[in-house]
Structure 1
Amino acid sequence: MRTFAIGDIHGGLKALIQVLNKLELKDGDRIIFMGDYVDGWSESAQVVALLLELSQKFDCVFIKGNHDVWCQNWLKDANDVNPIWFLHGGKETMESYEGFSVEEKKQHLTFFENLPLYHIDTENRLFLHAGFTSLHGVEKEQFKELFYLDRSLWEMLLALDSRIEKDSLFYPKRIQHYKEIYIGHTPTTNYNEPNPINIANVWNVDTGAAFRGKVTGLNIYTKEFVQSDSLPSLYPNETGRNK
């Protein structure tokens, strides 16, 4: 069985389709999506529709991201338009739902409401959108919104001295609980890196699809990955979140 982690999509349906085609999915494959399916490019509702179709054919795990929370709130109450969300892709997401029926919107709301905040597989790999702060692992995290908002985990790793041994008192306790950790949320393109970044046992697979980057699909066993074209090239008449 193959397992793929797919990074942030942000309404880039064309990019998602490219990645899925390159993965050449087979029966028995598992796909773990790292969250932020919406907001940015013009096909957010269409991305969710495709994810629902995929879940009927493959073993899929869909993690909840912060943009998914905002979209969920709007689908539940059309008057609940977070102003930050509206300016960071929400407007485009709302427009993408034009032509979708009330029943389809209800299906999408159910999809968002049922998204887990994290997933731990049978080999003790942790998948979540952003991060966590508890030294005792995600099960002991008191502030659940950190699973889709936290950046301290990644910032800690960026500053981690590679000379520190894993059994040292100075080695970060957060990451010792898991064989591997997969995250999105903070684009690797922020650091002029177009590909996934691995630090210690953590893999960041958000390669900047919301902005000028790409969508990435990573084989968690081989660490081989495929990528879409850059999102601006797929949506040349749009700006995404490059506002």
Structure 2
Amino acid sequence: MKIAVFTDIHGNLKALKSVLEQINNKKVDKVIFVGDIFQRGNEEIECLELLKNSGAICLKGNCELYLEHGVDIDPDVEYLREYYDGMRKKISDGQMEFIRQMPLFYEEEAFGHKMRFSHFLFSDVDAPYPFLQLSSLKNGIFDTACKSKEVTKYDLVVVGHSHQNFENGNVVSVSAAGLEGASFLLIEATEGGLNFERVFIN
């Protein structure tokens, strides 16, 4: 089984078209987008429509949570209130329903290999803002979470959010597809093992 994973498109329609085209050329079995359609770029709605119609499994990032619930769920993003209030007025009821139905995570098992995909590691999956804060990458909380049973029970856990490529145990982070240094992750699961490579986006 071949799975392609990308994340953080941030309103960059040109980048989204490019990554989907490159993924299509890889003849994968599944495509997973792990969140953040909005913010930064100016073609967010076009990106949302393309993702809706792409056949990809689309997961919620923090940007989708802000759009759905408002920025009050995260005290660090008060400065984005005007942006998300305005964006809610621009999208249709059908587009908002699509966002509401996007899951927070997706699990896959292939040839006995267990994988989980989400925008970032969770602090509390049931909380209004379920993810660890980005500061967790510097204060040791992320490292501790990577060693938790909730994470180590999987053979591979794929996240985005940080806009960086890195690995921490079985946790693999993918850089932002819509920003500089864009890449996607290509995973191949076989009876012999679970392998992945980063493919940089042209």
Alignment of 1:219-238 (within 5 A): 219-221=186-188, 222-228=195-201
Measured in 1, the distance between the counterparts of 2:25 and 2:170 equals: 26
Q: Kindly indicate whether residue 66 of structure 2 is the aligned counterpart of residue 70 of structure 1.
A: yes
Query: Residues 223 and 157 from structure 1, CA distance in 2 versus in 1: closer, same or farther, beyond 3 angstroms?
Result: farther
1:21 alignment partner in structure 2: 21
1:45 alignment partner in structure 2: 45
Contact 1:42-1:93 within 8 A present in 2 as well: no
Alignment of 1:132-143 (within 5 A): 132-133=122-123, 141=125, 143=127
1:165 alignment partner in structure 2: none
1:129 alignment partner in structure 2: 119
Identity %: 23
Measured in 2, the distance between the counterparts of 1:126 and 1:9 equals: 20
Measured in 2, the distance between the counterparts of 1:208 and 1:48 equals: 14
Q: How far did residue 158 of structure 1 move? A: 7.1
2:191 alignment partner in structure 1: none
Q: Kindly indicate whether residue 17 of structure 2 is the aligned counterpart of residue 30 of structure 1.
A: no
Bigger radius of gyration among the two: 1
Measured in 2, the distance between the counterparts of 1:18 and 1:27 equals: 15
Query: Residues 214 and 44 from structure 1, CA distance in 2 versus in 1: closer, same or farther, beyond 3 angstroms?
Result: farther
Secondary structure of 2:196 counterpart = coil
Secondary structure of 1:224 counterpart = strand
| Aligned-residue RMSD, C-alpha | 3.2
1:117 alignment partner in structure 2: 104
Deviations 1:77-128 (A, max 9, x none): xxxxx843246x6488579x4xx7xxxx122111101011111112321111
Amino acid at match of 2:104: L
Unaligned ranges ≥5, structure 2: 71-76, 189-194
Query: Residues 215 and 16 from structure 1, CA distance in 2 versus in 1: closer, same or farther, beyond 3 angstroms?
Result: farther
Alignment of 1:203-222 (within 5 A): 203-207=172-176, 209=178, 213-221=180-188, 222=195
Deviations 1:160-199 (A, max 9, x none): 8xxxxxxxxxx544432211111111122xxxxxxx2122
Contact 2:161-2:176 within 8 A present in 1 as well: no
Q: How far did residue 66 of structure 1 move? A: 1.0
Query: Residues 124 and 154 from structure 1, CA distance in 2 versus in 1: closer, same or farther, beyond 3 angstroms?
Result: farther
Deviations 1:37-89 (A, max 9, x none): 1111011000000011112xxxx221111111122347xxxxxxx843246x6
Measured in 2, the distance between the counterparts of 1:12 and 1:214 equals: 14
Measured in 1, the distance between the counterparts of 2:123 and 2:29 equals: 31
Contact 1:124-1:180 within 8 A present in 2 as well: yes
Query: Residues 183 and 10 from structure 1, CA distance in 2 versus in 1: closer, same or farther, beyond 3 angstroms?
Result: same
Measured in 2, the distance between the counterparts of 1:197 and 1:93 equals: 32
Contact 1:182-1:205 within 8 A present in 2 as well: yes
Secondary structure of 1:220 counterpart = strand
- What TM-score comes out, normalization by structure 1 length? 0.64
